[in-house]
Amino acid sequence: MITVELALRLRRAGLEWNPASGDRFVIPGRGMDADVFVVSELTIDVHEAPTGPLLRFNGTTEWALDSVEQDAVVWLPSEGQLRDALGPRFQALEPVGDGFAVVIERNGGTERHVDVDAERAYARALLAVLAG
């Protein structure tokens, strides 16, 4: 799983999120930084409010949290979502020592972005693409 720091960097770089079932996210700054939530029609759904998308928590009457604005959460994109965001620039995923390298086409050549797991390597490659 990518780190919250990498996810924040992706958001700042312009990666947009349209919440869908199965998406993972965290709610930073509310004492729940380590808790990973998953959008699911049964427990967490997306509701379009006049102020923007809300992630609503269903069946959680013991919680003081009924909903949270999308801007207040940090999406943790999955390996497949990151690969899809790279589009045709993605060339390969390679094992490298204790980690992985994502090879992308960029500016007429290839680049390798390495990290300890595949999702983080994909995130680093996508950051490079989003940076231009």
CA dist 25 and 41 (Å) reads 15
- What range defines the domain where residue 97 resides? 79-130
pTM for this one? Answer: 0.82
Read off the pLDDT of residues 21-80 as tens digits, 9 standing for 90 and up.
899 999 998 887 889 988 876 667 788 888 888 887 766 544 555 678 899 999 999 999
Number of domains in the chain: 2
How many alpha carbons fall within 13 Å on the CB side of residue 121? Answer: 22
40 in a structural domain? yes
- Helix H, strand E, coil C: the string for 103-124 is EEEECCEEEEEEECCHHHHHHH
Q: Is the CB of residue 23 less than 8 Å from the CB of residue 38?
A: yes
115 in a structural domain? yes
CA dist 63 and 3 (Å) reads 25
